[in-house]
Amino acid sequence: MKKFEYDIDFVRDQFPACKLEVGGAPIAYLDGPGGTQLPQRVLDRIMKYMVEQNANEGGNFKASEFCDIVEDGAREACADFLGCGPDEIGFNCSSTQNNSNFSHAFARQMKEGDEILTNELEHRCNIAPWLQLQKDGHIVKVAKLNTETQQLDFDDFKSKLNKNTKLVSLNWASNGLGTVTDVKKLIKMAHEVGAITVVDAVHYAAHFPIDVKDIDTDILICSAYKWFGPHVGVIYMKKELIEKFDFYNVMCEDIATGPRKFHMGTPQYELQAGVIEAINFIASVGEKYVDCFEDKLKGLSGRRKNIVAGMEAFDAYESDLAKQLRVGLREIPGVHVNGPAEGQPRTPTVVFTVDGFTTDEVTKVLGERGINAWHGDYYAVEIMNAMGLLDKGGMARLGLAPYCTQSDIDRALNAIRSMVRGK
Ligand SMILES: Cc1ncc(COP(=O)(O)O)c(C=O)c1O
């Protein structure tokens, strides 16, 4: 197997945003968990659609034909990205919209005594739709976050799962802590009691390859703007399940069949075109590294193989930098790094607080130096609540993306060091 050496210049050269500067230094995009930058090829593809192919579907002219071509292409690209069939993929504006839409379809099938099990690690996207159903009189249970390990409280989850549970919502990776949950194990447990599963992979999909058939989830949601694409929500649902649910849409039987049942109106064709190119970008990086990850690519071919290699390359590069960031932060007096213990599965997203400073102040200091970072709860409200941080400004968050550099990390650490020293 070839030794892995990440070509950061090859990646950065493709992102026009990486050429922008603040105060003479390139912007450090450590806000990746909130959304990534876009490669030129994605921008070009969106522009091409808008200029040369802009139309609605169903017309007897060339531009109209492109709508179907783009939509089919986006479905095929996402199928390669997630490891499923193109007829199992749907699109809307966001993951929250996809999940909310699905929750209405699910609610129509609920019977008295049916239960939903969600948990405190969720972004609001995969808990709010279910808590909304609680307001309508349905039974919704919430498995706890273990605030010590900062992982899902497995015993609590197990005690709340029973034969009445009809749906289990699961967070694959937390945007509020970086914790990665063993969803495959929990999906198996959910299936054993006859429940279906909805996995929120919005944060996970930005850092690791996904194989929906391997984890066997019924539904999975993710958002292209977290992995170099535009603002499009992608939903995977097992083919046999799509037919079982009655989604809110334009209700035209001829149009709203198969995965088009997910669409609430005219799809964002130009953004779907961007999604294709975002996935092609990942594959183009992966193509350079297939020889470095042979053991992880067995049985794969074509674009899927390159995508998986690309995600493995991103993971290898980002996790090393993230570890340096965590180690560096822990060395600064008064900085408290949260998230699971070293060695536990996690994303390259680092959350922390600093004694004597609000998280708002911390990210302002970083922002002034051209370092983009987040503060607050990032809609991981239940996590912040469980940790007693909701009314205290939540946490500061620095997240790695494949175009981030060693210098970005050094600059962030220096900024926090001098902030603490100058107190
Ligand atoms: C883990 C997680 N789930 C869901 C979402 C919401 O995704 P969307 O903005 O596409 O609704 C986010 C957005 O930050 C997220 O990080």
Q: The domain 44-279: what is its CATH number?
A: 3.40.640.10
Percent of the residues in the chain that have a pLDDT greater than 70, as a whole number: 98
In a mutational test of the pocket of ligand 1, which residue from 202, 262, 395, 397 has the highest number of ligand atoms less than 8 Å from its CB?
202
Comparing 263 with 22, which gets the higher pLDDT?
22
- The CA R_g of the chain, rounded to the nearest whole Å, is 22
- The string of pLDDT tens digits covering residues 200-235 is 999 999 999 999 999 999 999 999 999 999 999 999
Per-residue pLDDT, 108: 93
Q: For residue 318, report the distance from its CA to the centre of ligand 1, in Å.
A: 20
**Burial classification of residue 339, based on how many CB atoms lie within 10 Å of its CB (0-12 exposed, 13-18 middle, 19 or more buried):** buried
Q: What is the mean pLDDT of residues 354-375?
A: 97
Measured in whole angstroms, the distance separating CA 138 from the mean position of its chain's CA atoms is 28
Cα(277)–Cα(77) distance, integer angstroms: 9
377 alpha carbon – ligand 1 mean position (Å) = 12
pLDDT bin (cut points 50, 70, 90) of residue 248 is: confident
Q: From CA 262, how far away is CA 362, in angstroms rounded?
A: 41
The band of 251, judged by pLDDT with boundaries at 50, 70 and 90, is low
**Other residues' Cβ atoms within 10 Å of the Cβ of residue 301:** 8
Residues of the chain with CATH 3.90.1150.10: 8-38+303-421
- The set of protein residues with a Cβ atom below 6 angstroms from ligand 1 is 94-96, 123, 125, 175, 200, 202-203, 223, 233
Predicted confidence band at 257 (pLDDT cuts at 50, 70, 90)? confident
How does pLDDT run across 308-345, given as a tens digit for each residue? 999 999 999 999 999 999 999 999 999 999 999 999 99
Query: Number of helices and strands (H, E) in the chain?
Result: 14, 17
Rounded to an integer, the average pLDDT of 6-11 is 98
pLDDT value at 255 more than 80? no
- Residue 202 CA to ligand 1 center (angstroms) comes to 5
Residue of 36, 121, 181, 203 best suited for mutating to test ligand 1, as the one with most atoms within 8 Å of CB: 203
Give the per-residue pLDDT at 114.
97
Q: Is the dihedral of CA 70, 71, 72, 73 positive or negative?
A: positive
| pLDDT band, very low/low/confident/very high, at 58 (cuts 50, 70, 90) | confident
Task: State which ligand 1 atom lies nearest to the alpha carbon of 173.
Answer: 1
Q: Do 78 and 234 touch, CB atoms closer than 8 A?
A: yes
Give the torsion sign (CA, 218, 202, 329, 409): positive
Alpha carbon of 175 to ligand 1 centroid (Å): 8
What's the rounded mean pLDDT across residues 356-371? 97
CB 118 within 8 A of CB 261: no
Q: For 146-171, write each residue's pLDDT tens digit.
A: 999 999 999 999 999 999 999 999 99
Tell me which residue has its CA closest to atom 7 in ligand 1.
Answer: 95
- pLDDT score of 247: 84
Decide if pLDDT at 253 tops 60.
no
Q: Name the band, by pLDDT with cuts 50, 70 and 90, for residue 176.
A: very high
The highest-level CATH class for domain 8-38+303-421 is alpha beta
Q: Is the pLDDT of residue 423 over 90?
A: no
pLDDT tops 80 at residue 250? no
Average pLDDT over the chain, rounded to an integer: 96
- Identify whether the C-beta of residue 91 lies closer than 8 Å to the C-beta of residue 74: yes
Please give the model's pTM, rounded to 2 decimal places.
Answer: 0.97
CB 277 within 8 A of CB 293: no
- Residue 52 identity: E
Length of the chain as a residue count: 423
What spacing in Å lies between the alpha carbon of 122 and ligand 1's midpoint?
9
Average pLDDT over residues 238-257: 78
Degrees, nearest 5: CA angle 112-114-117: 150
Residues 167, 158: Cα–Cα separation, whole Å: 14
pLDDT in the model for residue 260: 84
Q: Where in the chain is the domain with CATH 3.40.640.10?
A: 44-279
Q: Residue 259 has what pLDDT?
A: 85
